[in-house]
Structure 1
Amino acid sequence: MSASAPPAGRGPTILVVDDTPESLRFLTATLESAGMTVLIAIDGLAALDLLDHITPDLILMDGVMPGLDGFETTRRIKADGRFRHLPVIFMTGLTETEHVVQGLDAGGVDYVHKPIVVDELLARVSVHLANARIAQGSQLALDTAGRPSFALDDDGAIEWLTPLASAVIERNFAGWKPRDGSLPDALATIVSRLRGVDVPPGAQATLEIGGCAIECTMLRRTSARQWLFRLAERREGDAERLLAERHGLTSREAQVLVWISRGKQNREISEILEISPRTVNKHLEQIFEKMGVENRASATAIAVGTLSQ
C-alpha cells in the first residue's frame, strides 16, 4: 500500500511517536495550538503501520521505547525510499553524547532533550519543515521538468528518488518497491559502473529490458556525498518518432538519422535497414535539406541534442 499525502488545506502534519501518555498529551496540545495536525503512535511498530497509510510532514520520535525503540524505527523508516526526505527529530531524556550520535546515525536531523522547552521545540520544528519543503520541492521540480532522478549514498543505498523515477523503475522491474531501499540488481549493476572514480559527469549506461531501454546518466557527486542520477525510458521506435516529428522527416529518414546519431556508417545502415547504400545517400540528402545543415556531423549533433532532451 502506498502512503498518501496529508489532507490539503491544513497546517503541517506531525507524527508523534512516544509511549508516555503525559508526553503525548503535552505534545499534542503544544503542536495543535501552533496550528499543526497531530498523529500519534505509541510504539515503533504502530508508527511504521501508520506510515503505510499517510505520510506526515515531520516526525517527533522518542528515542527509548519498549520493543522497537526510536533508533531502530527511524532506521527502518529511512530505509524506505518514500521517506528519505521525511525529517525526524529525536526527543529523549538521555543526554549522553553516544545517544545523540546514535540518533543522528539512525537518520535523525535534530535532537531535543526532555523536559521539552516549548519555544525551542516549535522553532526547531519550523526550521526542519521549511528545509524539507525546499528539498521536496526540488525533487518535484525535477519531475515537472521531465527528469526522473534519484540519489544514492556511497554504499549504493537510495537517498531519495523522485516520483517519476520510482514509476520508471516499478514499471520495468516487477516486484520492486521504493521501500526496498536499493535499486533492482540489474539497474544497480550499471549504476555501480557509473560511480567509478574516473567516470566523468554526464556519463551514461543503458540497460535493455525487453523492448525498452533504461538509460541512466550520472549527473554528479555532491558535497553531501550523494551520487545524483537521471533516468530515461526509451521504447522501440521512440527515437524515430521524435526525430520525425521535430525535424519534419519521413519514417525512413528518421530511421537513417537515428543510426547516424549512433555512429553507424552508410554501409552498416544499409545492412541494418536492408536498403542499398545509394538509397541511404538519397535519404541523407533529404535529411540535410530538411534540417538546414550541410554535412553529416551537423546532422548528428542536432539529432543527439534532440534525443537527449
Structure 2
Amino acid sequence: MYYPNLIKDLKSSLNSGQPPVDNRPLVLAVDDNHDNLELLTQILDLFGCECVRAVDGYAALSAAVDRSPDLIVLDICLPDLDGIEVVKRIRKNPALIHIPIVAVTALAKTEDRDRILQAGCVEYLSKPFNIKDLETIIRQHLHYQRAVYG
C-alpha cells in the first residue's frame, strides 16, 4: 500500500491536543510488507513512540527478547512463523508474557479475530485500519503498562 502525503496530513489531525505518550515507549512493529511497516513506524513515531522493526516471525521473537518492548504491533500473515505462533511463543516466555500484543492484520473474519484474541493478543485491528482506532489502542495499552509495571 502506498499512502502519498499521509504522514504530513496526519501531523495536523492526530493527537487532538493530547501530549505524546510519556518517555518514548518502545514498540516492536512487525510486518513483512515493507511499505506497511514503514507507514506503521511513521505513525507510531507521530504517537510519540520509539520503534523497532521486524519483517518476519523469527526476527520479531529475537527483537522481543533483545529489546523487551513496551508493546508489540503484529501482522499475523508472516512468511516464516505466522503471527499466531509468534504470540504463543511470547506468551510462553516469562520475561515477555506481560507485553501487550496488538494484531493488525488483513484477516477479517470473525473466526480469525476470535483465534487471534484466544492466542493472546490484547486487541485486533483489520487492515486497512483506522488510525484514530490504532492511536486509542496504543495509548490505552502503553498507559496501562506504565501504571502496572512502571
TM range (shorter): 0.7 to 0.9
> Which structure 2 residue ranges, 5 or more long, are not aligned?
1-21
Following the alignment from structure 1 to structure 2, what is the Cα–Cα distance between the partners of residues 53 and 95?
31
Residue 65 of structure 2 is aligned with which of 38, 52, 56? Answer: 52
| 2:31 maps to 1:23 | no
Aligned-partner SS, 1:120: helix
What amino acid is the match of 2:47? A
TM-score using structure 2 length: 0.81
Following the alignment from structure 1 to structure 2, what is the Cα–Cα distance between the partners of residues 112 and 132?
20
Following the alignment from structure 2 to structure 1, what is the Cα–Cα distance between the partners of residues 64 and 105?
22
Residues 74-133 of structure 1: CA deviation (Å, up to 9, x unaligned): 100010011111000001111111111111111100001111211110111100112222
What amino acid is the match of 2:98? H
Matches within 5 A, 1:189-208: none
Aligned-partner SS, 1:99: helix
| 2:117 maps to 1:110 | no
What amino acid is the match of 1:49? S
What amino acid is the match of 1:83? L
Following the alignment from structure 2 to structure 1, what is the Cα–Cα distance between the partners of residues 143 and 65?
24
Count residues with an aligned counterpart. Answer: 129
Following the alignment from structure 1 to structure 2, what is the Cα–Cα distance between the partners of residues 34 and 95?
25
Residues 187-224 of structure 1: CA deviation (Å, up to 9, x unaligned): xxxxxxxxxxxxxxxxxxxxxxxxxxxxxxxxxxxxxx
TM-score using structure 1 length: 0.40
Residues 232-288 of structure 1: CA deviation (Å, up to 9, x unaligned): xxxxxxxxxxxxxxxxxxxxxxxxxxxxxxxxxxxxxxxxxxxxxxxxxxxxxxxxx
Following the alignment from structure 2 to structure 1, what is the Cα–Cα distance between the partners of residues 107 and 63?
26
Aligned to 1:41: 54
Following the alignment from structure 1 to structure 2, what is the Cα–Cα distance between the partners of residues 57 and 11?
10
Matches within 5 A, 1:1-309: 10-137=23-150
Contact 2:27/2:70, CA 8 A, preserved across alignment: yes
How far off its partner does 1:64 sit? 1.0
How far off its partner does 1:71 sit? 0.6
RMSD, matched Cα: 1.4
Residues 146-176 of structure 1: CA deviation (Å, up to 9, x unaligned): xxxxxxxxxxxxxxxxxxxxxxxxxxxxxxx
What amino acid is the match of 2:30? V
Contact 1:85/1:135, CA 8 A, preserved across alignment: no
Contact 1:61/1:89, CA 8 A, preserved across alignment: yes
How far off its partner does 1:45 sit? 0.3
How far off its partner does 1:135 sit? 2.8
How far off its partner does 1:47 sit? 0.9
Bigger relative CO (Cα 8 Å, ≥ 6 apart): 2
How far off its partner does 1:29 sit? 1.0
How far off its partner does 1:25 sit? 1.1
Q: Which has the larger radius of gyration?
A: 1
Contact 2:28/2:63, CA 8 A, preserved across alignment: no
Following the alignment from structure 2 to structure 1, what is the Cα–Cα distance between the partners of residues 120 and 57?
15
Aligned-partner SS, 1:52: helix
Contact 1:10/1:37, CA 8 A, preserved across alignment: no
How far off its partner does 1:134 sit? 2.7
